[in-house]
Amino acid sequence: MRKLVMILTVLLLFVGALAGCSGGQGSTVKVSKEGDKIVVPFINGVGGSLADRLDEIVKEYNDSQDKYVVKTTKAGNYTESYQKLQSGFAANNQEAIALIGSNVVQDYIKKELIVPMDEYINSDNELKVEDYGKGFIEQARFDGDLYGIPLYGTTQVLYYNKKVLKENGFTADDLKTWEGLEEVAQKVSKRDANGDVTYAGWMPIWGTSNLIDAVHSAGGSVLSEDGTKVLINDETWVTVWEKFRTWLHEDKIMDIHTGGTGWEYWDNTIIDLVEGRTLGFTGSSGDQGFVFKSLGEGGDEQDRLDTFGVLPQPGWENHKPAPKLETYLLTLTRNIDPEVAQGAYDFMKFATSTEKTAEWSMATGYIPVQNNVTDYGPYAEFVKKQPQALVPLEQANQYGVMPFLDPTDGKINDALNVAKDKVEIEGVPAKQALDEAAKIAQEALDKVLEKQK
């Protein structure tokens, strides 16, 4: 009997420990020091040149003061970053700062993984929330609380080879609609004797983002206005997704990279443009850092600008473009020691200042988050020389829409992700793939709505 009591006691302690790790309650994460400096751990999932630039900001911050030292944990992508964070939360030793997209902030809040920043901002006479673009800051605000500080914004734009477009008798105006882009792609694409694409008329980035943007730009929505019905298999969705399937698998005027490690599929898409295997692709505003700085190292800057261009995303005929505008936020995780948390906030303020957001935008192409960035001398001079850098900002201001916030804890997005692979990789008819996804998504939404009654 005594042995049984001991086993039950151990089990209860174990379960209690797990409960402390999985919820908002728990002990404070242990403070580490490097010499006299308090260590502020920071995790992010950016890669390539973006990671290099973020490393520079971290180094500049560490060199600028003597109280804190930010230490970075790198992940292959944002999904891997989330997975590493989850492991850290389970052991109560997660990083203090997490860089996350506004599309998952709500999920982090529900799981009590991050905490509001208001107490730090309200006691700071220097940082002013109104200095940040409203479209960015609102994506960090939930139920009146601010859960992060915007580091950069992004929206997907068109990258294209201006010389090839002109040689084939087209102009940038021909890329203003998806119907126009289809016509261009049909003419410029090339295939070998086996029918495999050797020069793609266009390349979407693998994933649901390009497909959802295209649906929004045809007037479609994920949910009905009252939020009770999933619309992802209605006529608009099926028509748009079937177009992409046809372009990829039947007409073969488009091509796509899939799979690989981390951002490999994305990098390979950019490389195809730079090395002359596609007329263009639909990619992140942050791809400018690669497209305009990686073509022929040591080459003439004007030659790069003469070769490649950037345009807003197209709409379908009779519809305005409606691309997603997304913000990436520096957030504070739960149960962080007050001194470490203050250091985390201090770094966030440094990294998102007018000077740093301008430098980040010039180096990467991402959208600067501060309203007054165009008044900053170096940035104003930069966009005079590289006017394409303003395209993402202009698109965001004119057409940008908020990211879809999945009320089912990701189940709708998961269903769309499965459908995306069926359409883009397997060539399954869009109606079949989306009908299957809609059934799963509607069941998940119904369960959520039932709980709310």
The total number of structural domains that make up the chain: 2
Q: Please indicate, yes or no, whether residues 372 and 280 belong to a single structural domain of this protein.
A: no
Find tokens 């400096």 and name the residue: 37
Structural domain includes residue 6? no
Structural domain includes residue 111? yes
Amino acid at 344: A
Find tokens 């059934």 and name the residue: 439
Find tokens 């501060």 and name the residue: 370
Q: Please indicate, yes or no, whether residues 168 and 123 belong to a single structural domain of this protein.
A: no
- Supply the DSSP symbol for 424: I
Q: What is the CATH number of the domain that holds 213?
A: 3.40.190.10
What pLDDT shows up at residue 393?
A: 86
Structural domain includes residue 67? yes
Among 399, 416, 442, the domain boundary falls at: 399
Q: CB count, 10 Å around CB of 185?
A: 21
What pLDDT shows up at residue 12?
A: 37
Report whether 147 contacts 116 (CB < 8 A): yes
Structural domain includes residue 21? no
Residue 9, C-beta contacts closer than 8 angstroms, at least 6 positions apart: none
Q: Please indicate, yes or no, whether residues 306 and 176 belong to a single structural domain of this protein.
A: yes
Structural domain includes residue 313? yes
Main-chain phi, psi angles of 150, to 5 degrees: -65, 130
Structural domain includes residue 13? no
What are the CA-CA distances from residue 327 to residues 54, 140, 149, 257 (Å)?
16, 8, 9, 25
What pLDDT shows up at residue 17?
A: 37
Tell me the residue range of the domain where 374 lies: 27-154+326-399
Structural domain includes residue 7? no
Q: Where are the beta strands (DSSP E) in 189-300?
A: 190-191, 197-199, 203-204, 280-284
Structural domain includes residue 20? no
Q: Please indicate, yes or no, whether residues 365 and 392 belong to a single structural domain of this protein.
A: yes
Confidence (pTM): 0.80
Q: Please indicate, yes or no, whether residues 194 and 148 belong to a single structural domain of this protein.
A: no
Q: Please indicate, yes or no, whether residues 104 and 31 belong to a single structural domain of this protein.
A: yes
What pLDDT shows up at residue 294?
A: 56
Block mean pLDDT (10 aa), the chain, length 453: 37 36 62 94 84 93 97 85 87 93 87 94 93 90 95 95 97 97 98 94 97 97 97 98 98 96 92 96 90 62 85 95 94 96 97 94 90 92 91 89 90 97 98 98 97 88
User: For residues 104 and 34, what is the distance between their CA atoms, to the nearest angstrom?
Assistant: 32
Bridge-based pairing of strands 197-199 and 203-204 is unpaired
What pLDDT shows up at residue 19?
A: 37
Q: Please indicate, yes or no, whether residues 224 and 337 belong to a single structural domain of this protein.
A: no
Main-chain phi, psi angles of 175, to 5 degrees: -105, 15
Q: Please indicate, yes or no, whether residues 165 and 260 belong to a single structural domain of this protein.
A: yes
What pLDDT shows up at residue 300?
A: 65
